[in-house]
Amino acid sequence: MEPLFTYGDISLSLIELVAAVTLILLSVLLTLLFARRSASVMRHHLTDMNQRQVELQGRLSQFAEDSAQRENQLRETLDKRLDTVSERVGKTIVDTQERNSQNLKQLHERLALIDRAQKNIETLSGEVSGLQNLLSNKQARGAFGEKQMQDLITDYLPPNSFSFQATLSNHKRVDALIHMPGDQGDVAVDSKFPLESWRRLMAAENTPDETAAQRDFARDVQLHIKAIADKYLIFGETHDVAMLFLPSEAVYAELHTNFPKVIEEGFKRKVMIVSPTTFMATLHTMRAVMKDAAMREQAHIIQREVGAMAKDVSLLDQRVAKLQQHHNQSTEDLRQIRISTDKITKRADKIDALEDNIEATSPTNITDFRKSGS
């Protein structure tokens, strides 16, 4: 049988040529079937992967939205609480300042009254004669001065800030003790006074005996000042200044006008000589000091609470910073996940493009195959 196809050293008959073509066609068909099946499986996997990616992106978006919402709610709650605390502290400070201003105003009003009363000293000097008649008896004189002193103290000081007829550690009894705040000690007040020397001085006025009477009066007052200092100034127990209360403004004015050495002796011995008017002013000052000490104690409590609140706010800030750090880390993780999903999507697009290219370049009939072979 003559060969139907001859190409160089290769000679094929018609049967052999048909068989060869058949084998080639079968091979091509099998290759196409396998390629289409693989492309279908791959397309199915890519579709499933895209669906999972969409679900994952939806969950991540929901998680980010929930985290932002919780963070906003936490910030709003913290802002409200901080505003409430700040408002309370501000209101307390304003109330304290208003009370201080009111107390200072009252103090100024009282001092103005004292100034007006001081102008009446000359008028009150005329009452000396009547006072001498009233105090002719020594016991009555002592009781009168002590009662006047007690009335002033009771009227101008809080009930728990003084004691009458108190006994000191040296077993000496003092007419009154005014309890100062803190470690300032108690102020001793004596209401006794050598009125006999004063009466002799008044009787010897404009007479040859006036000089001797003045000398005796100054001596008796100085001795009384020394006795007060020795009995009532106790280191670590009483205040470093004691008071000698004079129940008469006239006696007080006479001492300050004509007996400066007696006043200097009182300053030297740390014994303050006071009249009813000046004692009233002194009591006002003491009361202001007591109120100031009480206010400082309250301010100390407020300061302590504000300090504790500041520590709590600092701790809260640290915890918010940690929460912000966790949130930032979550945001970074989400960004990395989005990068990975974008890469996966791009690779899937490349695979789809490759598949389309394979289908476009694959031979679909014998003529295309022959053309591609030739």
Residue 111 is encoded by which pair of tokens?
């001092």
User: Does residue 162 share a domain with residue 76?
Assistant: no
Mean pLDDT, contiguous 10-residue spans, the chain (374 residues): 49 66 79 70 73 77 81 85 83 83 83 77 61 53 75 89 89 89 86 80 82 87 90 88 88 87 90 90 88 76 75 78 80 81 80 69 48 45
Domain of 201, in residue numbers: 127-274
User: Does residue 251 share a domain with residue 133?
Assistant: yes
User: Does residue 262 share a domain with residue 134?
Assistant: yes
Residue 296 within a domain: no
Among 274, 292, 320, where does a domain finish? 274
Question: Model pTM?
Answer: 0.45
User: Does residue 248 share a domain with residue 131?
Assistant: yes
User: Does residue 216 share a domain with residue 97?
Assistant: no
Residue 34 within a domain: yes
Among 274, 292, 321, where does a domain finish? 274
Residue 281 within a domain: no
The C-alpha atoms of residue 271 and residue 188 are separated, in whole angstroms, by 10
How many structural domains is the chain composed of?
2
User: Does residue 170 share a domain with residue 250?
Assistant: yes
User: Does residue 97 share a domain with residue 41?
Assistant: yes
Name the residue among 317, 207, 217 with its Cα closest to residue 257: 217
User: Does residue 132 share a domain with residue 262?
Assistant: yes
User: Does residue 159 share a domain with residue 244?
Assistant: yes
Residue 60 within a domain: yes
Residue 8 within a domain: no
* pLDDT (0 to 100) of residue 250: 83
The C-alpha atoms of residue 251 and residue 198 are separated, in whole angstroms, by 8
User: Does residue 228 share a domain with residue 157?
Assistant: yes
Residue 253 within a domain: yes
User: Does residue 211 share a domain with residue 113?
Assistant: no
With vertex at residue 281, the alpha carbon angle to CA 277 and CA 286, rounded to the nearest 5 degrees, is: 140
Residue 186 within a domain: yes
Residue 332 within a domain: yes
User: Does residue 263 share a domain with residue 148?
Assistant: yes
